[in-house]
Amino acid sequence: MRVAGLSSLAKKEITLYGSKFTMTGLDAEEQAVLEDNFNKLLATTDSQVRRIFEERADTIIAGIMAIKEKLNRRKFRGMNPADMEIGFGFIRPEFVKDTDVIANDWNIALTGMGTWDVWLSAAGDTSGFVLDEDFGLIITHLVSQVTPEPYVRGVHFQIGRVDLIPEEVGDILLGDNENGVAVFPVPTKIVLPEDELMLSVTGHAGTEYLKLGGLVVGLGRLL
User: What are the extents of the domains in the chain?
Assistant: 7-89, 91-215
Look up the pTM and report it: 0.95
Q: CA 158, CA 129: separation in Å to the nearest integer? A: 10
Are the C-beta atoms of 54 and 1 separated by less than 8 Å?
yes
- What tens digit of pLDDT does each residue of 9-34 get? 999 999 999 899 999 999 999 999 99
Secondary-structure percent of the chain, ordered helix, strand, coil, rounded to 5: 25, 35, 40
Does pLDDT of 135 surpass 80?
yes
pLDDT over 70 percentage in the chain: 97
- What tens digit of pLDDT does each residue of 48-58 get? 899 999 999 99
- What tens digit of pLDDT does each residue of 150-167 get? 999 999 999 998 999 999
Over residues 76-91, the mean pLDDT reads 98
Q: What is the pLDDT of residue 175?
A: 58
The closest alpha carbon to 16, from 49, 65, 51, 50, belongs to 65
- What tens digit of pLDDT does each residue of 186-199 get? 999 999 999 999 99
Residues 6 or more apart from 161 whose CB is under 8 A from it? none
Q: CA 177, CA 105: separation in Å to the nearest integer? A: 23
